Amino acid sequence: MTKPYKSFQVVQRVKWMFMSLTLIVLCFPPQDARAGQAPVNLRSASSFAVLAGTAITSTSGGTINGDIGVSPGAAFDPGIPAVVVNGTVHLADPTAALAQTDLTTAYNDAAGRTTDVIVLSDQQLGSKTKAPGLYKADWLQITGGNLTLDAGGDPNAVWIFQMATTLDVGNGYGVILAGGAQASKVFWQVGSSATLGTTSRLKGNILALTAISIKTGATLDGRALARNAAVTLDANTLTLPPPDQGRIFKDQPWRLLLMNRVK
């Protein structure tokens, strides 16, 4: 009688586990079911710290940690002293051309998103804190204070800022990442041109239709990607963010349940 009873116990325990699993999954859906915006896929453009349509011009010094490229143009003026490029220089070659094609696809993706969009009536982002999401405005500026992007502990947090025209970052101001926010998951879709003021500090990927101007001493943790015109630099530090590891799934209660083995 002992073996049948033990078998009955095992069967009952397995049935209980599956019933509990079903209830917990219903009450606690997987993380991606509640996810916000997906990151913009840059494809081959992701290896470029700077990409321009006509020219890359540096006035003096600075460091670029990542590849740089120009297409369909081919002009690169490294300045005096020359900017240090810790990467590969692609001038009007197939790699730069493909990166521009992929940039166009990424730009159109970022510009075309509408799900859960938050329309900003106040274009001033200085001294504000923004949760992850899709934001839309005619233009945006960060002046009078820093912009804080707070992920709230979510490793999958994504910000996409859509601008019909310009992005301006004031002298000495910039972006602060908080709560586990990652520069690789911040996207600035700029309908015309972006300007980063002297000693400003921006985080994220600039996808500009026209030009990008980065003034003296400004830093960018991310990418300066201009589709149709030039990227101008002056003693700046530009650094590619760490590679995006894709969506990170957090442990759910049902995982703990499955770890409870039947004895």
| pLDDT tens column, 206-251 | 999 999 999 999 999 999 999 999 999 999 999 999 876 555 545 4
| pLDDT tens track for 20-33 | 444 444 444 444 33
Q: Classify residue 214 as exposed, middle or buried by CB count within 10 Å of its CB (0-12, 13-18, 19+).
A: buried
DSSP track, the chain: -HHHHHHHHHHHHHHHHHHHHHHHHHHS--GGGG--PPPP--GGGGGEEEEESSEEEESS--EEESEEEESS--EEE-TTTTPEESS-EEESSHHHHHHHHHHHHHHHHHHH--TTEEE-S--B-TT-EE-SEEEEES-EEE-SS-EEEE-TT-TT--EEEEESS-EEE-TT-BEEEETT--GGGEEEEESS-EEE-TT-EEEEEEEESS-EEE-TT-EEEEEEEESSS-EEESS-EEEPPPPP--PPPPP-HHHHHHTS---
pLDDT at site 243: 76
Q: How far apart are CA 210 and CA 206, in angstroms?
A: 11
| pLDDT tens track for 177-216 | 999 999 999 999 999 999 999 999 999 999 999 999 999 9
pLDDT band of residue 257 (cuts 50, 70, 90) is very low
| pLDDT tens track for 130-164 | 999 999 999 999 999 999 999 999 999 999 999 99
Q: What is the mean pLDDT of the chain?
A: 87
Phi-psi region of 152 (alpha: psi -120 to 50; beta: other; left: phi over 0): left
Residue found by looking up tokens 């049935």 in the block: 15
98 and 72 in contact (C-beta within 8 Å)? no
Can you give the residue ranges of every domain in the chain?
Answer: 2-34, 43-239
**Average pLDDT, integer, range 101-123:** 98
**Of 196, 183, 194, 198, which is closest to residue 244 (Cα–Cα)?**
183
